[in-house]
Amino acid sequence: MYSAESERYNNFEYVRCGKSGLKLPPLSLGLWHNFGREDDYEKSKQTVLTAFDSGITHFDLANNYGPPPGAAEQTFGKILREELGAYRDEIIVSTKAGHPMWDGPYGDWGSRKHLTASLDQSLERLGLDYVDIFYTHRPDPETPLEETIRAVSDSVMAGKALYPGISKYKVQDTINAIEIFERLDTPLLVHQINYSMLDRTPENLRLWDVLKAKGKAAVVFSPLAQGLLTDKYLNGIPEGSRAAREGTFLSSEKITPKLVEKIKRLNEIARQRSQTLAQMALQWATRDDCVCSAIVGASSPEQILDSLEFAKAEPLSEEQLKTIENILSD
């Protein structure tokens, strides 16, 4: 029977989510990829257990993660049942709803019908009575915001989730959502949003300022820009990589010579800091105190251990930040 590493909570400091009572690890494990039905279960399990042994307590899922949709929750549910059940109270499980899941008009977006049914399905797949964070996965342009937020709030009030979250909301919708959650006595915990050196939209739109003013936090996903901010693409597109596969969010057309040159210059700064590019990218993405955790995917235990090294490094100096800024703005 699995027994967790006794020193797992001595590897880094946990970060408080805004003005809430919850702390998250600086690095969270996302199960968007590598935990589907066709993936090797033993490898997926060892990746999760390595993460937990290293102090990672937050595991981020969504109803549509797989493939097929729902498979990642089933995989993680099996790991919980067979290995991590005794540690449930040490673990933060988050899931989301709002992307396509089943046929018909109720299998997508942000209606009360979809969000309520989806969370019930997620709990069944996970084998849990509640999740720790339940997100509306994306804004719905046709459903009133009040309906979407109230559905998430009611899930918290019903004990199916402990904290509410939003994901990929624009600034004004974020402000409105925060106000609705407050009125419903279920204060928003976090906004999960895409953020990296190559996508600075939240920073440029001053989302961090809004969240901090309201006492809220951000959890960022894709801080490595789908693997671009690693050494994977420095010398072309490797066979079997995400960019080499059709139907992925990272197409080979996006990897231009200009982008590769920029990544090489960033990699040189990381080398000067005795870091990998991925470690430096994680450090950069979490440098603002609004960000309480960065979500990374991993296809092996070794990737988890490598990524976690960023939490031990010296902060980026002002000079290094300025150099990075110059590279990114070229």
Q: Percentage of the chain surpassing pLDDT 70?
A: 95
Mean pLDDT of 119-127: 98
Q: What is the mean pLDDT of the chain?
A: 94
Where is pLDDT greater, at 231 or 38? 38
List CB contacts of 281: < 8 A, sequence separation 6 or more.
196, 197, 223, 224, 225, 229, 230, 266
Largest alpha-carbon pair distance within the chain? 54
What is residue 159's predicted lDDT score, i.e. its pLDDT? 98
* Rounded CA separation 292/16 (Å): 6
The domains of the chain are located at: 12-226+285-313
What is residue 62's predicted lDDT score, i.e. its pLDDT? 98
What is the pTM (predicted TM-score) of this model?
A: 0.94
Dump pLDDT digits (tens) for 174-185: 999 999 999 999
What is residue 252's predicted lDDT score, i.e. its pLDDT? 62
Helix (H, G, I), strand (E, B) or coil at 94: strand
What is residue 250's predicted lDDT score, i.e. its pLDDT? 53
- Of the pLDDT bands very low, low, confident and very high (cuts 50, 70, 90), residue 240 is low
Mean pLDDT of 25-40: 97
* HSE-up (13 A, CA, CB side) for residue 306: 18
Q: What is the assigned CATH class of domain 12-226+285-313? A: alpha beta
- Of the pLDDT bands very low, low, confident and very high (cuts 50, 70, 90), residue 199 is very high
- Of the pLDDT bands very low, low, confident and very high (cuts 50, 70, 90), residue 239 is low
What is residue 249's predicted lDDT score, i.e. its pLDDT? 54
List CB contacts of 7: < 8 A, sequence separation 6 or more.
none
Tokens 């703005």 belong to: 329
What is residue 234's predicted lDDT score, i.e. its pLDDT? 84
Reply yes or no on whether the pLDDT at 206 is more than 60.
yes
Dump pLDDT digits (tens) for 54-86: 999 999 999 999 999 999 999 999 999 999 999
Dump pLDDT digits (tens) for 133-175: 999 999 999 999 999 999 999 999 999 999 999 999 999 999 9
List CB contacts of 291: < 8 A, sequence separation 6 or more.
195, 208, 217, 218, 219, 220, 285
- Of the pLDDT bands very low, low, confident and very high (cuts 50, 70, 90), residue 315 is very high
What is residue 1's predicted lDDT score, i.e. its pLDDT? 84
What is residue 244's predicted lDDT score, i.e. its pLDDT? 44
Q: Where are the alpha helices (DSSP H) in the chain?
A: 41-53, 71-79, 112-126, 145-157, 171-183, 201-204, 207-213, 257-272, 277-285, 301-308, 318-329
Q: Is the dihedral of CA 42, 43, 44, 48 positive or negative?
A: positive
